[in-house]
Amino acid sequence: MNSLQSLLLLNAIGLVTFGCVYSSDVISDYVKNDISQLEKHYKTNDSALAGGGPLFLNVLKYADKQESGEKILLREIVNVYIDILKNMNDTFSKNSTQHIYSEMKILQKEFASGKGTTLIEELNKLREIKKNDLIVQRKAMLELKQVLEKAMRIKIKLQKNKQKRRRRRVNSS
């Protein structure tokens, strides 16, 4: 192995080590301490919290595999058009609406992901969470650290992307 390869290997090891240390420190020690206190107070180690599955962690897994926003919006727009066309009872436009309805149904099938729930369904599930239920509050405290870590990583990623765009803009000027 020549000196250049050794140097690259050493740098790669340093980056991996720095990345591991960095990723575990996305939450401040103060917040970690507060989370620990809340976990103790709400007794999040209770096996009763395992029932019904997680509150937020499944949604976060879904968010990682999320399809593009354009596709989601187009699917919802097509669904609204299908509902509108179903409700149009004008005899003058019956044939036209039927043809458009058929095309929209084809598009609806095309945009259907077939991968389980959609983003809209996930958002509706989140809205339906009973926020004043003690079990829900305890489960939320149990998952808080993981959710916060994920949110902080996304925040950092968005900030880095924003900085990259700024640099590109400045360099291209």
55: in domain: yes
90: in domain: no
78: in domain: no
Euclidean distance between CA atoms 10 and 16, whole angstroms: 10
25: in domain: yes
Which structural domain range is residue 167 located in? 3-67+113-172
Give the number of domains in the chain: 1
Confidence label for 16 from pLDDT (cuts 50, 70 and 90): very low
14: in domain: yes
20: in domain: yes
40: in domain: yes
CA distances, 115 to each of 35, 52, 77, 118, 152 (Å):
34, 21, 19, 8, 27
Question: What average pLDDT does range 14-20 have in this prediction?
Answer: 47
Q: How do residues 146-168 score in pLDDT, each as one tens digit? A: 888 888 887 888 888 888 888 88
Q: Is the pTM of this model over 0.95?
A: no
pLDDT score at 61: 72
Q: 113, 66 in Cβ contact below 8 A?
A: no
87: in domain: no
Question: What average pLDDT does range 64-76 have in this prediction?
Answer: 67
